Amino acid sequence: MKEIIATDRAPKAIGPYSQAVKLGNLLFTSGQVPLDPRSGQMVTGDIKAQVRRVMDNLREILEASGTSLDHVLKTTCYLRNMDDFSAMNEVYADYFPKTPPARSCIQAARLPRDCDVEIDAIAVVPPVS
């Protein structure tokens, strides 16, 4: 059975989708954009600030699901401008300092709410002991 994951520590879905879906011990997150869950406003500023907000949102969803960034298997990163790739990598690396997951990164012509970055993740949810 699939389990729908929802937390108020990350932005509410802005469409007909779930923040994450768990099936067995796998968790699939929806793409996260730089939306502040408290204010409901998009984070403005450079790409680094936006990536931090996105990664913080992902971390909150993972933790609400019983897992963490340490258990992420794969991410997909969407950038509006591939010129932001190096700056995105600098921040991204801070969140995966030891064993980074597999990753794809593509340039997208347009992202939700005209943001500059969106990232989704697939993770393992370890058994509760």
**Residues marked as catalytic:** 105
- Tell me if 99 sits within 8 A of 71, measured CB to CB: no
CA distance 38 to 94: 23
> Residue 86: enclosing H or E segment and its boundaries?
helix 85-95
> Residue 55: enclosing H or E segment and its boundaries?
helix 47-64
Count CA atoms closer than 13 A to 3's CA, side-chain side: 12
Q: Which two tokens stand for residue 88?
A: 């995105």
